[in-house]
Amino acid sequence: MMHASNENPVLDNPRLAELTSWDAEWSGLRVVVAGIGVSGFAAADTLIELGALVTVLDSGDNERNRQAADTLKIVGASDVVLGPDAMTRVPDVAGARPDLVVTSPGIRPTNPLLTAAREEGIQIWGDVELAWRVSERRGRRTPQWLCVTGTNGKTTTVGMTESILQAAGLKAIAVGNVGTPILDALRDPVEYDVLAVELSSFQLHWAHSLSPLASAVLNVAEDHVDWHGSFENYRADKSRVYENTRVACVYNVDQPGAEELVEAADVVEGCRAIGFTTGTPGLSMLGVVDELLVDRAFVEDRATSAAEIGSVADTGELPTRHGVANALAAAALARAAGVEPEAVRDGLLAYRPGEHRIQLVAETEGVRWIDDSKATNPHAAQASLSAFDTVVWIAGGLSKGVDYDELVAANARRLKAVVVIGTDDAALLGSLSRLAPEVPVLAATPGLSGDDSDGEPAIDPSDGPAVMRRAVQLAAARAEPGDTVLMAPAAASMDQFTDYAQRGTSFARSVHEELGLA
């Protein structure tokens, strides 16, 4: 069963332990902020506004960072240090040792700065921890937090949650790892009722005292092992989202071990475990009955009745099992916040998913072309692969140390051909060779993967757009009516593209050019 906890953990530094609202005594606090990206800039800007003495460090010395540094100096940063040596040690702040380090989520715990801070006994927070501590502010409404984490589906789920909350007439915004820093929302003139907070495992690693109204782990699959050191560490950081939850811990009934994470959590007395499933729901669950989304958790007589909250068709242009799961998780969070069933349906119908998430980019001559560039790991790719019958699969990229055997084995029967992009494809090719030996594998970069049989001229493997054009040409040559060409790489994009969005845009552009739709 879940463990009740009525207070946040006691922290070592007495002064830091007292910093639990915007109106606490932040003035004169010495802080090192690691990273000057979106979250780091927001943290530094907020701390300066609070009166803290702030030094900002970032290993990247580029035009964007220099502009950000100039801005922070203007508003009152004590110092900003850029360059490869910036984060090799803990600097003094205004002539004395810092009280605190606030780190950006992408910086690994093994970074020399963070390692040195731990050795000195300097507490480390993430930007989310800082945001939680300044959520309460005299004279302003304190927003409730609905927190979402998981290997895949986070952004879609917080977007759906935001839409449902807004349909209920609440002032709500999706924040966190979704792109808008929580700190920016807290300083917005709009006084939000609810924040739908997307949290990555990186952010949760440095979050110590969050106490959300409701929290959800959508799924946990192998990812970011390089950052966390092991899958066990990654899973443990994901599960931190449940700590100190007050009303509902939402979990995926269909994932083995999910309920165990809830049972192990220290929660506030009275918090409930709420499951969601794409099958028929049991007590205290949300699920699906006859293509309808139903709630057996937040109704008065849940033993014998359920509330209809929508339909499968409400969950997207191309409804998929994981899309339905995301919708049910969002509904559970919103229902925990008191939203009525009608608002769930209205919110799902109003929601418009972001680009590059199982997005139909073209359909001609019976072939569908799907952009799922957001599938940056095998678990995400499984969600989209399993939605289609016969697939020409475009895959590959930076593998982040994951294994592809389970993904390939589960989908070998539906693969008509695989077109490999990326510069780090050894693990994927090995799995395809062992577990799908009959499936043709074509390399979009001849010679890179040991396949130059097509005699095509060589292209620069790091030239993502050129590689994608070749991949689309190869896929078009294989696809027949009834097939789906699915670009779900199951890998990160930074070896050939700026990010997954550029990869997806490149795919869509190449498809339109190849099909004469441009």
Residue 102 maps to which CATH number? 3.40.50.720
pLDDT of residue 77: 97
Q: Is 148 part of a structural domain of the chain?
A: yes
Q: How confident is the model at residue 502 (pLDDT cuts 50, 70, 90)?
A: very high
Q: What tens digit of pLDDT does each residue of 143-154 get?
A: 999 999 988 888
> For residue range 91-137, what is the model confidence (pLDDT) as tens digits?
999 999 999 999 998 898 999 999 999 999 999 999 999 999 999 99
Do 182 and 293 have their domain in common? yes
d(CA 31, CA 49): 13
Half-sphere exposure at residue 310, Cβ-oriented, CA atoms within 13 angstroms = 27
Work out the average pLDDT over 367-379.
Answer: 92
Q: Is 153 one of the annotated binding-site residues?
A: yes
Please check whether residue 377 is in contact with residue 222, taking contact to mean a CB–CB distance below 8 angstroms.
yes
For residues 282 and 288, the answer to whether their CB atoms sit within 8 Å is no
Q: Which amino acid is it at 227?
A: W
Residue 8 has pLDDT above 70, yes or no: no
**Residues 218 and 337 reside in one and the same domain:** yes
Residues 247 and 390 in one domain: no
pLDDT digits (tens, 9 = 90+) for 438-472: 999 999 986 544 444 455 667 888 899 999 999 99
* Residue 386 reports pLDDT greater than 90: no
Q: State which of 300, 317, 350 marks the end of a domain.
A: 350
449/484 same-domain check: yes
Check which CATH number belongs to the domain holding 235 and give it: 3.40.1190.10
Residue 450: predicted pLDDT: 41
> What CA–CA distance (Å, rounded) separates 479 from 504?
19
Q: Containing domain of residue 192, as a range?
A: 139-350
Is 320 annotated in some ligand binding site? no
* Residue 2 within any structural domain of the chain: no
Q: Which string of DSSP letters, residue by residue, matches 206-275?
A: T--S---SEEEE----S--HHHHSSHHHHHHHHHGGGTT-SSEEEEETTSTTHHHHHHT-EE-TT-EEEE
CATH number of 483's domain: 3.90.190.20
- Mean pLDDT throughout 415-419? 97
Whether 304 and 260 map to the same domain: the answer is: yes
Is 154 annotated as belonging to a binding site?
Answer: yes
Q: Is the pLDDT of residue 293 over 60?
A: yes
Answer with the one of 130, 156, 173 that is the final residue of a domain: 130
Q: Are residues 375 and 283 in the same domain?
A: no
Q: Does residue 14 fall inside a structural domain? A: no
Tokens 């989304």 sit at which residue? 293
- Does 1 have pLDDT greater than 50? no
For residue 223, is pLDDT > 70?
no
Q: What pLDDT, on the 0 to 100 scale, is given for residue 456?
A: 61
> Which residue among 88, 107, 130 closes a domain?
130
Same domain, 276 and 414: no
241 and 157 in one domain?
yes
Query: Are 99 and 225 found together in one domain?
Result: no
Number of domains in the chain: 3
Q: Does the annotation flag 152 for ligand binding?
A: yes
Query: What mean pLDDT is predicted for residues 63-75?
Result: 96
Sign of the Cα pseudo-torsion (468, 469, 472, 477, in order): negative
**Which pLDDT band holds residue 400 (cuts at 50, 70, 90)?**
confident
Q: Tell me if 503 is assigned to some domain.
A: yes
- β-sheet with 194-198: strand ranges across: 172-176, 194-198, 144-149, 214-217, 248-252, 272-276, 285-289, 292-295, 307-311
Amino acid identity at 345: R
Look over the chain and give the mean of its residue pLDDT values, rounded to a whole number.
Answer: 91
Place of tokens 């929302």: 185
- Would residue 150 count as lying in a domain? yes
Residue 6: the pLDDT is 37
- The answer to whether residues 397 and 444 belong to one domain is yes
Kindly state whether residue 7 falls inside one of the protein's structural domains: no
278 found inside a domain: yes
- Let me know: does 198 contact 205? Beta carbons within 8 Å: no
- Give pLDDT, residue 226: 56
> Contact, 487 vs 394, CB < 8 A?
yes
Residue 490's pLDDT band, with cuts at 50, 70 and 90, is: very high
Same domain, 186 and 257: yes
| SS3 state of residue 414 | helix
The verdict on residue 341 lying in a domain is yes
156 has binding-site annotation = yes
Shared domain for 210 and 106, answered yes or no, is no
Helix axes 38-50, 63-75, angle to 10 degrees: 10
Burial class (CB in 10 A: 0-12, 13-18, 19+), 458: exposed
